[in-house]
Amino acid sequence: MTTEEPHTLESLAGQLRGLSNIDALRTLAELFPGEVIFSTSLGYEDQIITDLILANDIPIKIFTLDTGRMFSETYSVWKKTNDRYDTKIVAYFPKQEMVESLMTGKGPYSMYDSVENRKECCFIRKIEPLNRALAGNKVWITGIRAEQSPNRQTMTQLEWDDAHHLFKFHPLMDWSFDDVKQYVSENNVPYNPLHDRGFVSIGCQPCTRAIQPGEDFRAGRWWWEDNSKKECGLHVK
């Protein structure tokens, strides 16, 4: 963190400590007007945060990464969300020339051939657009929960992201999956119907499957890789 940043991680954490999620989000929006942004994958957790922001008229920007390989059900919940909250979630797409080069050079399923190829695809379709979306912002809101994977259990609710030079705030960090489902049900939040079919984490169509009872939460992502700490690079921890 640079010395020019007026808020330190410790001072900001102190201001947020003990606040409800709504009050914490509102406080961040007041401290960093026009510089707080939320990335939604349109999954369970992110739909809750979208509801917290829009139902309470909190001025936080919302965007999603359209990788070009999303499930049709994801597009459906995107439309339902726009309609429900009378909003327009901003779309960021990968750069056309990068996708064309990848598809021409390595074909549509290069991600299955190696971890390096899969990360290349993730970079083109997710990381590069994410970098553009986050540029110029001071706080990045995410739907990360601690129980989602072993490497997320050591994360704190508020962090400093050196890669993007901004704060990251995870409102649902301490929520259980049951907490998530209960909120969605009680508040009638639009959600992806794939969740009802065993998809707990939903990404690109070629890289996501439903999980079986007893499987790890992340088992459905990049399911052909034997690695319990599978990430695409959006969150480096």
Determine whether 232 is an active site residue.
yes
Could you count the other beta carbons within 10 Å of the beta carbon of residue 124? 20
Phi/psi at 92 (5° precision): -120, 125
**Main-chain phi, psi angles of 180, to 5 degrees:** -60, -50
CB 139, CB 228: distance < 8 Å: no
Q: Which of 122, 204, 207, 232 is catalytic?
A: 232
User: d(Cα 171, Cα 143) in Å, to the nearest integer?
Assistant: 7
Q: Is the dihedral of CA 110, 148, 60, 136 positive or negative?
A: negative
Dihedrals phi, psi of 56, to nearest 5 degrees: -110, 10
Residues in the chain, overall count: 237
CB 169 within 8 A of CB 29: no
Q: Which helix (H) or strand (E) holds 101?
A: helix 96-106
First to last CA, the chain: 17
Would you name the residues annotated as active-site residues? 232
